[in-house]
Amino acid sequence: MLSRTANHLYWMARYIERAENMARILDVTANMALVPNAALSEAALWQPALEISGNADAFNARFSDYTASNVIHYLAMDPENPSSIYSALHSARENARAVRVAMTSETWENINALWLEFSQFEGKDLAVSGLREFCDWVKARSHLFRGVSFGTMLRDDAFQFLRLGTFIERADNTARLLDVKYHLLLPKEQEVGGGVDYYEWSAVLRSVSAFQAYQKVFNDTIQPWRVAELLVLRKDMPRSLHACFTEITAILENLTTGRHVECRRIAGEINASLQYGRMDHIFQNGLHEFLTEFIECNNQLGAEIQNSFLNIHAA
């Protein structure tokens, strides 16, 4: 496969996943804002959404206040924010248009329809009404894209790069979400285990569609360290770090066909740390430090994938 074609497919999948992840962040933040909590101001509620997405500095350069209206517009509809849902879906569509022949007609039609339907939300003030509907729509269209591509595409290199982009992006988002909850939103000692703390952790689980999975696996009240275990080490949890790297490792083995490539070594090393890691050791050394290192390694892996297969700078 040509490097340029692989590049477009890889980034198309990353942008679709990025849009879904951003919708999940906005949805869970809006739900948490509905819970009465005098200890948290509007800014304290909405700033973490920017920290998770890595957009805090760019936001501060343009806006003076962390209001719901400013943050929602910036993360959802702002064309000047390259990580906004608008920008992600536009970039996904442009990447797809460049390589229409490399995917099935159903996959292309799905992405093209997604972008055309997006116009129904333009011009709306989502902070006033319609945010839940908008986030649900983004998530549903992302699921539909994955379902159509999985159900119609030949299991060739094009399909492999689609899947690779999805899991690299998903792993990054799950790690950022969990890190911000622990590092920035950690409640005061007297609030741990309280009603607000319980609801916050429930919201985090729901943001990655893991609430029912948590109940099934642990059959107990929500405990922060068990949430971390579910989202870091559980291989059977679809959006966990371990699940993502199980997929990434297998995909890179297929793409390299036994050749020694640096990105395959990095992925294997990360996957081994998740497969044989123990939650008590991770907490002993610091969950924030573990997640920070994971995000750095995941970014390094993305750069090596770019160098090894794509050979051009990502758009």
pLDDT at 36: 67
pLDDT at 185: 53
CB atoms closer than 10 angstroms to residue 257: 7
pLDDT at 181: 75
pLDDT at 183: 65
How far apart, in whole angstroms, are the C-alpha atoms of residue 235 and residue 204? 18
Query: Whose CA is closest to 28, among 286, 203, 227?
Result: 203
Query: Whose CA is closest to 15, among 80, 96, 74, 78?
Result: 96
pLDDT at 219: 86
pLDDT along the chain (315 residues), means of 10: 89 96 90 68 83 87 91 94 95 95 94 94 88 94 96 95 97 91 57 57 85 90 88 95 97 86 94 94 90 95 92 52
pLDDT at 116: 94
pLDDT at 158: 94
pLDDT at 180: 81
At 234, is the secondary structure helix, strand, or coil?
coil
Amino acid at 196: V
pLDDT at 80: 93
Q: Domains of the chain: which residue ranges?
A: 3-310
How far apart, in whole angstroms, are the C-alpha atoms of residue 170 and residue 20? 10
pLDDT at 190: 42
> Taking the chain, what is the end-to-end CA distance rounded to the nearest angstrom?
19
Structure tokens at 1: 């496969």
pLDDT at 5: 94
Query: Whose CA is closest to 166, among 11, 308, 286?
Result: 11
283 within 8 A of 225, measured Cβ to Cβ: yes
